[in-house]
Amino acid sequence: MKKLINEPDDVVDEMLDGMIAAYPDRLRRLPDTQVVVRDDAPVDGKVALVTGGGSGHEPTHAGYIGDGMLDGAAAGDVFSSPTADEFEALIDACDAGDGVLAIIKNYEGDVMNFETAIELAEMEGVKVESVVVDDDVAVEDSLYTSGRRGVCGTILVHKAAGAKAAEGADLSEVKRVAEKVIDNVGTMGTALTSCVTPEKGEPTFDLGDDEIELGIGIHGEPGTERTELMSADEITDALTEAVLDDLDLDAGQEVLTIVNGMGGTPQMELFVVNRRLQELLGEHELETWDAWVGDYMTSLDMAGASVTVCAVDDELKELLGAPADTPALTQTQ
Amino acid sequence: MSEEGDGEAASGALSDGEAVVAAVEAVADRIEAERDHLTDLDSAIGDADHGGNMARGWAAAAEAARDLDDPDPQTVCKTVGKTLMAEVGGASGPLFGGSLVFASAELDDGVTAESAVAFAETYLEKVEDRGDARVGDQTMVDALTPAVHTFKKSIETDELSPLEALAKAVDAAERGVAFTVPIRAKKGRASYLGWRSVGHQDPGATSALYILEELLATAADALDSETPDVDATSPTIPDESEEATASDPEGD
- Quote the pLDDT of residue A61: 97
User: Which CATH number is B64's domain given?
Assistant: 1.25.40.340
Percent pLDDT > 70 in chain B is: 86
Q: Is A48 helix (H, G, I), strand (E, B) or coil?
A: strand
Which range marks the domain in which residue B202 is found?
Answer: 16-234
**Could you read off the pLDDT of B12-36 as tens digits, one per residue?**
468 889 999 999 999 999 999 999 9
Contact with chain B for residue A108, Cβ under 8 A: yes
In a domain, B80, yes or no: yes
Catalytic residue status for A57:
yes
Partners of residue B93 in chain A, C-beta under 8 Å: 83-84, 112-113, 116
| Chain B interface mutation, best of A12, A110, A113, A132, highest count of B Cβ atoms under 10 Å | A113
Angle (CA) B74-B76-B81 rounded to 5° is 95
Partners of residue B101 in chain A, C-beta under 8 Å: 120
B95/A120 Cβ within 8 A:
no
Query: A73-89 burial, b for 16+ CB within 10 Å, e for fewer?
Result: bbbbbbbbbbbbbbbbb
In a domain, B74, yes or no: yes
- Quote the pLDDT of residue B2: 42
Contact with chain A for residue B127, Cβ under 8 A: no
Partners of residue B80 in chain A, C-beta under 8 Å: none
Averaged pLDDT score across all residues of chain B: 87
- Cα B16 from Cα B13, distance rounded (Å): 7
Locate the chain B residue with the closest alpha carbon to A113.
B94
Alpha helices by DSSP H, chain B: 17-33, 35-45, 50-66, 73-88, 92, 99-103, 113-131, 141-156, 162-180, 203-222, 240-246
Q: Which one, of B200, B167, B166, B170, lies nearest residue B183 by Cα?
A: B200
Partners of residue B95 in chain A, C-beta under 8 Å: 112
B247 DSSP 8-state letter: T
- Quote the pLDDT of residue A145: 66
How much is the average pLDDT of B228-244? 55
State the DSSP string of A288-317. EEEEEEE-SS--TTB-EEEEEEEE--HHHH
- Quote the pLDDT of residue B10: 43
Q: Please, which residues 234-263 of chain A have a Cβ atom closer than 8 Å to chain B? A: none
Catalytic residue status for A284:
no
In a domain, B250, yes or no: no
In a domain, B104, yes or no: yes
**Cα maximum dimension of chain B:** 51
In a domain, B245, yes or no: no
Question: Cβ of A43: how many Cβ atoms within 10 Å?
Answer: 17
B93/A113 Cβ within 8 A:
yes
- Quote the pLDDT of residue B227: 83
In a domain, B138, yes or no: yes
Contact with chain A for residue B134, Cβ under 8 A: no
- As for how many domains chain B has, the answer is 1
The model's confidence at residue A143, banded by pLDDT at 50, 70 and 90, is low
In a domain, B96, yes or no: yes
Q: Compare CB distances from A84 to B93, B188, B192 and report the shortest one's residue.
A: B93
The model's confidence at residue A272, banded by pLDDT at 50, 70 and 90, is very high
Q: Which amino acid is at A2?
A: K
Query: Would you say residue B217 has pLDDT above 90?
Result: yes
The model's confidence at residue B191, banded by pLDDT at 50, 70 and 90, is confident
**Could you read off the pLDDT of A170-184 as tens digits, one per residue?**
999 999 999 999 999
| Chain A interface mutation, best of B106, B192, B196, B252, highest count of A Cβ atoms under 10 Å | B192
Locate the chain A residue with the closest alpha carbon to B87.
A83
Report the complex ipTM: 0.83
Query: Would you say residue A77 has pLDDT above 70?
Result: yes
- Cα A251 from Cα A288, distance rounded (Å): 12
- Quote the pLDDT of residue B189: 75
Contact with chain B for residue A119, Cβ under 8 A: yes
Partners of residue A108 in chain B, C-beta under 8 Å: 91, 188-189
In a domain, B3, yes or no: no
**Could you read off the pLDDT of B53-82 as tens digits, one per residue?**
999 999 999 999 999 999 999 999 999 999
